[in-house]
């Protein structure tokens, strides 16, 4: 995964912190000012919200993709090793049964 396609968690957090900082500044300016500064700040916030939404969408796509890969790998393993998979499932079911019966 390249950082250009899927943003890092740190960069996403930094972008969200900038968004929050600008929103707080907007609230302060809105309370007692109108005009050019307010319009510039609103434009910056709109720009950063758009970037944050794009990066969140990229992160979501990356998570979905890695989840699909894990499901595919599990499915392949089960098809290649059906008896081992049945044994593991039986063992997990047995342990869960023991835990439930203790309560």
pLDDT in tens, 40-60: 776 777 777 778 778 777 877
Which residue is listed with tokens 């979501």?
A: 60
Report the pLDDT value the prediction gives residue 9, as an integer from 0 to 100.
65
Report the pLDDT value the prediction gives residue 43, as an integer from 0 to 100.
74
Mean pLDDT throughout 23-45? 70
Report the pLDDT value the prediction gives residue 72, as an integer from 0 to 100.
94
Rounded Cα distance, 47 and 92, in Å: 50
Report the pLDDT value the prediction gives residue 3, as an integer from 0 to 100.
44
Rounded Cα distance, 69 and 67, in Å: 5
Rounded Cα distance, 64 and 57, in Å: 11
């Amino acid at each position: 995964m390249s950082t250009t396609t899927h943003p890092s968690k740190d960069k996403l957090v930094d972008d969200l912190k900038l968004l929050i900082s600008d929103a707080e500044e907007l609230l302060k300016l809105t309370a007692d000012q109108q005009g050019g500064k307010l319009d510039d700040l609103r434009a910056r916030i709109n720009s950063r919200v758009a970037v944050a939404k794009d990066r969140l969408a990229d992160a979501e796509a990356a998570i979905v993709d890695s989840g699909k890969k894990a499901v595919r790998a599990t499915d392949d393993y089960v098809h290649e090793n059906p008896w081992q998979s049945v044994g593991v499932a039986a063992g997990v079911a047995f342990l869960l049964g023991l835990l439930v019966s203790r309560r």
